[in-house]
Amino acid sequence: MIKVYGTETKKMLNLLILDVLRRYSDADHPLTQQAIIRILRSDYGVEKIDRRSVKANVLSLVDMGYEISMEEGNGYYLISREFEDAELRLLIDSVLFSKTISDAYAKRLIEKLKSFGNIYFDMRVSHVKPTPTMNRTDNKQVLYNVSAIDEAIDNKKKISFHYCKYGLDFKMHDLGRNYVVNPYQMVASAGHYYLLGNLDKYDDIAYYRIDKMTNVMILDEKVKPQKDVKGLEGQLNLSKHMAEHIYMFCGETLNVTLKTTPNMMDVLVDWFGKDFKILKSTEDDLEIMVRSNENAIFCWALQYGPYVEVLSPPSLREELAKEIKKMSQKYGKKV
C-alpha cells in the first residue's frame, strides 16, 4: 500500500485517482465513486475523501486533457491510454520472439510493458513467459552494443569490437581479432540485430551480428564517406536493400529468373516484398524476376528446391546443379 500523509493528500488526490483509473478501469470495468474511494483507502491509505471530492478531481483531470468517461449511472473509466491492449500485446510478443536479448532481460522488459496496462490486461497475459527454448543470445552486452553503435552512427565515428562464435561447448568464444568498422545502419532480420558497415580496405558492405559483438568502443576517427561504399552511394533504400539481402549475406546483387507456381505467391512476398516482377503466369506456372544477393538466392533456392527452379543467370543455375548433385550423393549412401 502507498501511504499518503497529511496535507499531501489533497495535493496528490487527482494523481492518485488517475492511477486508480489506469490500474482498475476500462470500458468493461467502470468504477463508481464509492469503488474509487474504497481503492484509495485500501491501496493508498487515503481516509478523508468523499464522493464530491472524487467527482471534482475527475473533472480536474478532464480539464487537464485526460479522456475519462463520466456517464451518469455507469461509473468512471479511462478512455485512452499510452498503449492499447493490442499494442501492448504486440510489444510483448516482439520481446518474446526476439533472439537478441537474454531471458532475464526479456522477463524484466515484459513486466515493464505489462505495467502500462490495467489489472485485467495483466491477468490476460499472466500465462506469457519467455523460455530458454527461444534460442536467445548469451551475450549480456547486446543492449550496450546497440546504444554505442547508435551513438557512433549519429556522430559519424568508427567503432572497434571483437567478434564471437559458438564452440562445441555451446558457449560463445572470442575469435581473437579486433575489428575496426565504419558503421552506417542497424537493421533487424529474422529476430537478430545486424550492423551494416564497411572495413576500410574494402569498398563494399559487410554485415555483423550485433549479439556476437563484444568490447564495442567508439573511436575518434571519422567514418569513411558513405558514397565511397558500393551499395551505399546514394540514399539507402532500406526496404529494397533488405529484400535483396534476405539472409544478410555479402556479395553481388543480380537479376534472377525463377519458375514456380501461383501457390508460392505468399512465400515470395514474405521473402522479397512486392518489388519482384511477374514475367509469365498461368493457372499452374509462375515465372518471376527478382533482384537478390547471389549468395542469398543460392541458399533460398536450395531451401525451396521442391517448389522453385532457377532459370537464370546460367552461372547460378550451374552452381545449384553442382550442389544438388553433391546432396544427392550424400543421401544416396547407405547409413
Domain 8-78 classification at class level: mainly alpha
Sequence spans of domains, the chain:
8-78, 85-134, 142-236, 253-332
Band of residue 133 on the pLDDT scale cut at 50, 70, 90? very low
| Model pLDDT for residues 100-112, shown as the tens digit of each residue | 777 777 788 888 8
Nearest CA among 167, 172, 148 for reference residue 158: 148
Give the C-alpha separation, 130 to 104, whole Å. 9
Q: What is the CATH number of domain 253-332?
A: 3.30.70
Tell me which DSSP letter residue 316 carries: H
Nearest CA among 209, 205, 202 for reference residue 188: 209
Give Cα 195 distance to the centre of its chain. 14
Give the C-alpha separation, 152 to 148, whole Å. 6
Residues 6 or more apart from 334 whose CB is under 8 A from it?
A: none
| Model pLDDT for residues 69-110, shown as the tens digit of each residue | 988 778 898 888 888 887 888 788 777 767 677 777 778 888
| Model pLDDT for residues 120-132, shown as the tens digit of each residue | 777 666 555 545 4
| Model pLDDT for residues 39-65, shown as the tens digit of each residue | 988 888 888 888 888 888 988 888 888
What dihedral angle (degrees, nearest 10) is formed by the CA atoms of 287, 293, 296, 302? Answer: 30
| Model pLDDT for residues 163-222, shown as the tens digit of each residue | 988 888 878 889 989 999 999 988 877 777 889 899 999 888 888 988 889 999 999 999
**Side-chain-facing half-sphere of 260: CA atoms under 13 Å:** 21
pLDDT at 259 over 50: yes
**Residue range 219-237: average pLDDT?**
84
**Residue range 277-285: average pLDDT?**
92
pTM: 0.58
Number of neighbours of residue 46 by Cβ within 10 angstroms: 21
Give the C-alpha separation, 288 to 311, whole Å. 10
Q: How far is residue 198 from each of residues 18, 84, 256, measured CA to CA in Å?
A: 51, 41, 26
Nearest CA among 217, 210, 99 for reference residue 163: 210
